[in-house]
């Protein structure tokens, strides 16, 4: 009987797998690790755990990361956790290697960490922060993982958390909004190229594109104010399905499917989880 069968009574869709997840202490990342753990995965998780100057809503804290670890351990899974910035490739490699040392192999990568530096009082630094965290951070996350995944010859799955703003032009006019849209489109370029590069090793690479999700990135008063003061952004919100925002688990279920063997021949795909937002445009 696997550990998952002991704790959950059924066979998990990720039994025997280890997942590396960035931005895991809050919002979507917290939901991803819960969902992956429920399905049997052990985890290597990182989070910045401190503010970014151009981000108006609170990012996660060290306490959030400890809580996330406790929650996953309570599901019977093992976790290696580090306070790490995805912009710092050397530190990210160290965190990844600590997980590899503990578990031997890592099969799933979820490049989830991201920021929306949308300031009412716009600053050019917001462009750079969006690109550095969302695009360069995603590049680092995949780069640190590739060598061990190829060497293990077990295949694998890499999932990039992009956005509807990675598929259509909805960034608005601010430095941070343009940086967000550019970074999320850039992530698609990475995804498509890595999908081709890594296919011979049976490593699949896909991206998910959520509409607004009920996390601090959307619900914090600073973000509500930012959207309200830009008429085009407030008009851009409505989904086709009658729901203002979706829940983190809706995105995590898509991540889980892409991570699992159920999606074994799915690669190079941009998967909207968007309540029909893109189709409506
Ligand atoms: N919430 C939405 O509406 C929405 C929609 C589409 C896409 N997304 C994307 O989903 C992902 C998660 O966003 P969220 O809504 O959960 O936001 P969030 O702010 O709730 O969570 C993001 C997490 O990433 C961490 N983080 C930020 N910068 C980091 C860095 N440099 N290194 C490591 N960790 C870092 C934060 O501390 C936080 O725990 C992001 O990539 C975001 O762009 C969110």
CB of 27 within 6 A of ligand 1: the answer is yes
pLDDT band at 9 (very low <50, low <70, confident <90, very high): low
Q: Which tens digits make up the pLDDT trace of 185-218?
A: 999 999 999 999 999 999 999 999 999 999 999 9
- Give percent above pLDDT 90 in the chain: 89
Distance 187 CA to ligand 1 centre (A): 14
- Give percent above pLDDT 70 in the chain: 96
CB of 213 within 6 A of ligand 1: the answer is yes
Clarify whether 96 is annotated catalytic: no
Distance 107 CA to ligand 1 centre (A): 22
Question: Is it the case that residue 223 has pLDDT exceeding 70?
Answer: yes
In this structure, which CATH number among 3.30.450.40, 3.40.50.720, 3.30.2310.20, 1.20.1740.10 belongs to the domain 13-273?
3.40.50.720
Got the DSSP string for the chain? --HHHHHHSS--TTTT-EEEEESTTSHHHHHHHHHHHHTT-EEEEEE--S--TT--S----HHHHHHHHHHHHHTT--EEEEE--TT-HHHHHHHHHHHHHHHS---EEEE--------SS--THHHHHHIIIIIIHHHHHHHHHHHHHHHHTS-EEEEEE--GGGTSS---SSHHHHHHHHHHHHHHHHHHHHHHHHGGGTEEEEEEEE--BSSHHHHSHHHHHHHHT-HHHHHT---SSS-SSB-HHHHHHHHHHHHSGGGTT--S-EEEESTTHHHH-
Domain boundaries, the chain: 13-273
Q: Which tens digits make up the pLDDT trace of 111-158?
A: 999 999 998 899 999 999 999 999 999 999 999 999 999 999 999 999
Q: What is the pTM of this model?
A: 0.97
Distance 116 CA to ligand 1 centre (A): 8
pLDDT value of position 8: 56
Question: Is it the case that residue 7 has pLDDT exceeding 60?
Answer: no
Closest ligand 1 atom, residue 50 Cα: 37
């Amino acid at each position: 009987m696997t550990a998952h069968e002991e704790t959950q009574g059924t066979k998990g869709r990720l039994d025997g797998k280890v997942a590396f997840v960035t931005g895991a202490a809050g919002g979507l990342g917290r939901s991803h690790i819960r969902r992956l753990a429920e399905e049997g995965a052990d985890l290597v998780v990182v989070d910045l755990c401190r503010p970014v100057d151009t981000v108006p809503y609170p990012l996660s804290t060290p306490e959030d990361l400890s809580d996330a670890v406790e929650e996953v351990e309570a599901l019977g899974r093992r976790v290696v956790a580090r306070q790490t910035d995805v912009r710092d490739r050397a530190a990210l490699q160290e965190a990844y290697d600590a997980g590899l040392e503990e578990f031997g192999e890592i099969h799933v990568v979820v490049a989830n960490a991201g920021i929306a530096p949308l300031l009412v009082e716009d600053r050019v630094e917001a462009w750079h922060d969006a690109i550095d965290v969302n695009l360069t951070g995603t590049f680092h996350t995949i780069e640190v993982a590739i060598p061990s995944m190829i060497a293990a010859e077990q295949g694998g799955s890499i999932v990039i958390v992009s956005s509807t703003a990675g598929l259509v032009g909805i960034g608005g006019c601010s430095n941070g909004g343009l940086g967000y849209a550019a970074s999320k489109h850039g992530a698609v370029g990475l995804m498509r190229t890595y999908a081709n590069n890594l296919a011979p090793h049976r490593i699949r690479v896909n991206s998910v594109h959520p509409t607004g999700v009920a996390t601090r990135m959307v619900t914090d008063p600073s973000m509500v104010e930012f959207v309200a003061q830009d008429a085009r952004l407030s008009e851009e919100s409505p989904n086709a399905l009658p729901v203002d925002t979706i829940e983190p688990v809706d995105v995590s279920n898509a991540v889980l499917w892409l991570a699992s063997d159920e999606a074994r021949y799915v690669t190079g795909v941009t998967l909207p989880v968007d309540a029909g937002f893109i189709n409506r445009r």
